[in-house]
Structure 1
Amino acid sequence: MASELTVEVRGLTKRFGERTVLSGLDIDLAAGEFVALLGRSGSGKSTLLRILAGLDTAVEGTATVNGTVSVAFQQPRLLPWRRVWRNVVLGLRGRGTDRELADRALAEVRLGDLADAWPRTLSGGEAQRLSLARALVREPGLLLLDEPFGALDALTRLAMHGLVEDLWQRHRPAVLLVTHDVDEALLLADRVLILDGGAIVAEHPLTHPRPRRLADHIDVRGRVLTDLGVTEHARA
């Protein structure tokens, strides 16, 4: 089974001074699996993503990732002095002609006609699509999504959900989505994990076929909200 895992975390502990953010954490992600990670603010979700991305190595325990890693953050982090297509292939070498790779990636996220535009001319949704193109052009084994839709309006978020699911189905990386949006997690993920006190305290498999409706997961939604400490919530 270990050879089929993209992520294998065992006994992961992360401290900031006297504060323990992650405490003996264990997580597995299978190849091609889409997992959503929920937790209250300060529960360590983004810390875990930074560790999996290799941005923080001062930890105890092990965090093994099989394959390359790409990250899409809430803020797209674009270079304003580089045109859209050059942002896509930033730092990418040895995989063919940069422009050809960029054009293919931009077409996938429906930005093909903006390849020569400047980042400052993009809308929020377009900038986030560009961030996804930049992540996926590297053909990652693991795609980390750190609240990538948090700054978008409701309609744009829904459109992005559909796009992310389509791209995931096409490329099949393992995905770890950090989000505060319960409904987003239920629509996109194969499993929802609840992080609290530095450890996984609940796991909810999602088995309804795609595309999903929120009505498919009313009972699970209630249990997830309870796990997050929301004891008064709607059931519809």
Structure 2
Amino acid sequence: MSARFSDTAVQVEGLTRSFDGRAVVNGLDLTLRAGEFTALLGRSGCGKSTLLRVLAGLDRDITGTVLVPRRRAVAFQAPRLMPWAGLAQCAARVAGQARTGGGRAGVGGGRARARSGAWPKTLSGGEAQRASLARALVREPDLLLLDEPFGALDALTRIKAQQLVAELWQRRGCAVLLVTHDVDEAMLLADRALVMRDGAIAYETPVDLDRPRTVAGPGFAALRSRLLTELGVAEDTAPARAA
């Protein structure tokens, strides 16, 4: 294990969250290491988003132990921008972090600065999602939680947003938990992939692929096949992404 993953960012033991007497998260154990990018896969209804909400502190009706960093941030599939608030303040704070000596990057570069005076309703889907990520990252979190943040984007915008997240994570070094249904997305971004089933972590594997990654890279197809099998999906029915 790499030395940069030596510290624990999240420790979950015996976590249970029930709704109407049914355990959606059931005795779950999970460790996330500092600086590690972890992807969480699973079928709809398996408890992925419930777990993320618990880690974000948005759901406290639980049993078990949940230890998380004090500084954490969340980005959801819907950007959830405030319609009455412009983007200038958020963009200014991000730009303020992008000083040459600080080793930090702004979100979206010059395009984001040019649009900093825009109102949320005038933004494209990609611009709105970059603004959402900026809002999360200006807090300089030790834990970044991503709940299907690219799901509503078109294919090209999605690829650009994924590349942006990968770049920002590598520069900032926080722990990341990405909830996704997209196996290829998990493999392109993550150091480790988890499969959630019946309210618990049923399978995990390191993603030992060289960066930068492509779907045509060595080892990608074999790992994709293994994860699809764990998800109960026949490989010939799964959508393939172009290299």
Would you call these one fold, judging by a TM-score over 0.5? yes
Deviation at 1:207, TM superposition (A): 1.1
Deviation at 1:100, TM superposition (A): 4.2
Between the aligned partners of 1:172 and 1:14, the Cα distance in structure 2 is 30
Query: Does residue 72 in structure 1 map to residue 80 in structure 2?
Result: no
Report the equivalent of 1:155.
Answer: 156
Between the aligned partners of 1:3 and 1:185, the Cα distance in structure 2 is 22
Amino acid at match of 1:108: V
Secondary structure in 1 matching 2:168: helix
Between the aligned partners of 1:231 and 1:121, the Cα distance in structure 2 is 41
Report the equivalent of 2:188.
Answer: 187
Secondary structure in 2 matching 1:208: coil
Report the equivalent of 1:31.
Answer: 34
1:1-236 pair list within 5 angstroms: 4-86=7-89, 88=90, 100-104=92-96, 107-110=106-109, 111-215=112-216, 216=218, 217-233=220-236
CA root-mean-square deviation: 2.0
Q: Percent identity?
A: 57
Secondary structure in 2 matching 1:58: coil
Unaligned runs of 5+ in 2: 98-104
Secondary structure in 1 matching 2:236: coil
Amino acid at match of 2:172: H
> 1:2-37 CA deviation, whole Å, 9 max, x = no partner?
981111010101100121101110111100100000
Unaligned runs of 5+ in 1: 89-98
Between the aligned partners of 1:30 and 1:232, the Cα distance in structure 2 is 31
> 1:52-80 CA deviation, whole Å, 9 max, x = no partner?
00011111101111241100000000011
TM-score of the aligned structures, taking structure 2 as reference length: 0.87
Between the aligned partners of 2:62 and 2:230, the Cα distance in structure 1 is 27
Say if 1:222 and 1:233, in contact at 8 Å, map to a contact too.
Answer: no
Between the aligned partners of 1:118 and 1:142, the Cα distance in structure 2 is 28
> 1:175-214 CA deviation, whole Å, 9 max, x = no partner?
0000011100000000000000011111121111210111
Amino acid at match of 2:55: L
Between the aligned partners of 1:72 and 1:104, the Cα distance in structure 2 is 21
Deviation at 1:158, TM superposition (A): 0.6
Amino acid at match of 1:21: V
> 1:140-176 CA deviation, whole Å, 9 max, x = no partner?
0000000000000001111111100000011111000
Secondary structure in 2 matching 1:233: helix
Say if 1:39 and 1:45, in contact at 8 Å, map to a contact too.
Answer: yes
Indicate how the Cα distance of structure 1 residues 83 and 192 shifts in structure 2: closer, same or farther if over 3 A, else same: same
Deviation at 1:232, TM superposition (A): 4.3
Deviation at 1:85, TM superposition (A): 2.4
TM-score of the aligned structures, taking structure 1 as reference length: 0.90
Say if 2:77 and 2:150, in contact at 8 Å, map to a contact too.
Answer: yes
Secondary structure in 2 matching 1:57: coil
